[in-house]
Amino acid sequence: MGEMEQLRKEAESLKDQIIVARKGFADTTLQEAVAGTAVVSRVQLKTRKTLRGHLAKIYAMHWGAGLTQCVSASQDGKLIVWDTLSTNKVNAIPLKSSWVMTCAYAPSGNLVACGGLDNMCSIYNLKGKDGNVKVMRELASHTGYLSCCRFVSDSEIITSSGDCTCILWDIETGTEKTIFAGHLGDCMSLGVAPDFKSFISGACDYTAKHWDIRDGNCTHTLSGHESDVNAIGFFPNGNGILTGSDDATCKLYDLRSDQELITYQDATIMCGVTSLAPSLSGRLLLAGYDDFNVNIWDALKAERVGVLAGHDNRVSCIGVSSDGMACCTGSWDSFLKIWN
């Protein structure tokens, strides 16, 4: 027992040393750096389209790399690919397991993936030879539910799971390439860097971790939240991380200086954050909450500059399209709305 105590003390002292080292590099705060910038004026976004067609709660949506296509997953057991401008359904894919919790669109537009309580990630080929959408691969090796999946390319996908690990898969062979273990609680969300060389994951141990895809190592661990980290995303330049948590706050961390920069919170917001997405320039942060609203924050000044209210139930997923033109929100009221 004495040895364990010693190890524990050593770990604690190292953690303190890291905190001291971080402080040493913090020669300015974000507030000081933007003291001269004015707050962005009130942003009014209106619902331009409502996508109707799901019959149950929508758990996830993801924009494609094209300009108007997105995929959404709902617990009625359907994965629907939408052409959002015309609100037509391009594909409606029936799933084997209706307990789906996540979906993803490949950057090339050829594949979509989904997964959930069946512990598997199923990959569907949208551009099959005879026009049918079929299951291309079923990646099964997680021992917990699949909370999020994101494509790195047409041959690689990263999944995060309730068994506290993230896995990088090779789609062609259907095997695991790398297992990223290190979280102490269920991994709830993940995001891939704009240059596809690294990814971040948020978990129920109140931390977010930044991993290098090729080495398989965790390069940064970011703590500061007081509850589960539900949503995570990269800042558009790839050097910042945005996290949203059940403690009703979002935080911005900087990777290069290893600091927590700013917290987005407000006394009137009492509900946890379920999803978030930055705008194209990074100036605006759109975050969906359990109180059925989406709040728009000025990322530099940490002030609320807008609200998107229109859903009748929890906003479960949000995404900004690749050219930054529109944002799509999906909710437990079974509707997707496009805002601009």
Show contacts with another protein in window 16-45 (CB under 8 A): 17-18, 21-22, 25-30, 33-34, 37, 40, 43, 45
Binding flag, residue 259, another protein (CB under 8 A)? yes
- What is the closest distance, in whole angstroms, from the C-beta atom of residue 33 to another protein in the complex? 4
3-state secondary structure the chain: CHHHHHHHHHHHHHHHHHHHHHHHHCCCCHHHHCCCCCCCCCCCCCEEEEECCCCCCEEEEEECCCCCEEEEEECCCEEEEEECCCCEEEEEEECCCCCEEEEEECCCCCEEEEEECCCEEEEEECCCCCCCCEEEEEEECCCCCEEEEEECCCCEEEEEECCCEEEEEECCCCEEEEEEECCCCCEEEEEECCCCCEEEEEECCCCEEEEECCCCCEEEEECCCCCCEEEEEECCCCCEEEEEECCCCEEEEECCCCEEEEEECCCCCCCCEEEEEECCCCCEEEEEECCCEEEEEECCCCEEEEEEECCCCCEEEEEECCCCCCEEEEECCCCEEEEC
Among 254, 297, 317, 329, indicate the residue that binds another protein (CB under 8 A): 254
Find the binding residues for another protein in span 146-185 (CB under 8 A): 153, 155, 162-164, 172, 182, 184-185
CB of 17 to another protein, least distance (A): 6
Is 299 one of the binding residues for another protein (CB under 8 A)? yes
CB of 28 to another protein, least distance (A): 5
The tokens describing 47, both together, are: 């619902």
User: Residue 227 is encoded by which pair of tokens?
Assistant: 């509850």
The two beta strands, 218-222 and 208-212, are antiparallel
Shortest Cβ 20–another protein spacing (Å): 10
- For residues 179 and 215, the answer to whether their CB atoms sit within 8 Å is no
User: Minimum Å distance from CB 286 to another protein?
Assistant: 9
Options 178, 189, 243, 293; binder of another protein; rule CB under 8 A: 293
In the complex with another protein, the residue whose CB is nearer, 155 or 263, is 155
CB of 118 to another protein, least distance (A): 14
Interface residue with another protein among 191, 202, 272, 330 (CB under 8 A) is 272
Minimum CB distance to another protein smaller for 64 or for 233: 64
Candidates 42, 52, 86, 134: give the one binding another protein (CB under 8 A).
86
Distance of closest approach, residue 318 Cβ to another protein, in angstroms? 13
| Interface residue with another protein, options 192, 284, 302, 317 (CB under 8 A) | 284
Q: Of residues 211-240, which lie at the interface with another protein (CB under 8 A)?
A: 214, 217-221, 226-228, 235-237, 239-240
Pairing of strands 327-331, 336-339: antiparallel
Question: Per CB under 8 A, which of residues 43..72 are in contact with another protein?
Answer: 43, 45, 48-49, 55, 64-69
Binding residues for another protein, rule CB under 8 A, total 108
Least CB distance from residue 19 to another protein, whole Å?
11
**Within positions 306 to 335, which residues make up the interface with another protein, using CB under 8 A?**
307, 309, 312-314, 323-327, 332-333
Q: Using CB under 8 A, which residues numbered 185 to 214 contact another protein?
A: 185-186, 195, 204-206, 214
